[in-house]
Amino acid sequence: MKTNNERLRDILKHLEALDYISPEAIPDIDLYMDQVTTFMDEHLKGTKRHPEDKILTKTMINNYAKNNLLPAPNKKKYSKEHILLLVFIYYFKNMLSFHDIEQLFRPITEKHFNSPEELPLEEVYREIFSWTKDGMDRIQKDIVRKYQDTSQAFADKGLEGEDLEYLRLFAWICELSFDVYVKKQVVEQIIDDLRAAEPIKKKK
């Protein structure tokens, strides 16, 4: 069995290998659905938990469109902007409901999707993902800090060996999970605020 130190090293190594899809990597021509799923699978395979996991399927794409997360394709073809939105959806879908993502995306799709008068969606995407390097550095440091804090847990309980190692691992996971829980609460509150403000806007 791995030690907790070995787990930490493996996690940091995995995080260092993660990358985002750059706009330059996305074809400038429209793609059919099969081409979209192949593209996403190739470029995000490093994020899979299990090799057999699917990054994106036809059913998923149809559900995103049905739930107003993704604008309809043009003659069964998906543009570069569709793929940019699919990347955002990929990162949000395990944290937020379709209802929340639709609420969050609505101003983006209305103002920046295929809209020559507004800031192009590609520029929105570039701006947001330009923070990923610094953001990943902060995340890695926070993971290490939480690990160091919890590696001192149960020091005065007279425990040793595998039992102590596992309890410290459990404490580390709890610290990481609580952080995710609180941030998810914050995001959901912001989205609820956006939703609550909509009737006020419509009256103007």
Report pLDDT for 59.
96
Tell me the per-residue pLDDT of 83-100, one tens digit each, with 9 for 90 and over.
Answer: 999 999 999 999 999 999
Report pLDDT for 35.
97
Higher pLDDT, 198 or 200: 198
Report pLDDT for 204.
44
Report pLDDT for 200.
58
Report pLDDT for 117.
87
Evaluate if residue 178 carries a pLDDT over 80: yes
Phi first, then psi, for residue 74 (nearest 5°) are -100, 110
Mean pLDDT of 186-197: 96
Tell me the per-residue pLDDT of 28-61, one tens digit each, with 9 for 90 and over.
Answer: 999 999 999 999 999 999 999 999 999 999 999 9
DSSP annotation string for the chain: ---HHHHHHHHHHHHHH-----GGGS-SS-EEHHHHHHHHHHHSGGG-SSTT--S--HHHHHHHHHTTSSPPPBTTEE-HHHHHHHHHHHHHTTTS-HHHHHHHHHHHHHHHSS-TTS--HHHHHHHHHTTHHHHHHHHHHHHHHHHHHHTTTTTTTT--HHHHHHHHHHHHHHHHHHHHHHHHHHHHHHHHHHHHHHHHHHH-
Quick one: pLDDT band at residue 78, thresholds 50, 70, 90? very high
Quick one: pLDDT band at residue 203, thresholds 50, 70, 90? very low
Q: What's the Rg (C-alpha) of the chain?
A: 21
Q: What's the predicted TM-score (pTM) here?
A: 0.89
Evaluate if residue 25 carries a pLDDT over 80: yes
Quick one: pLDDT band at residue 201, thresholds 50, 70, 90? low
Report pLDDT for 95.
94
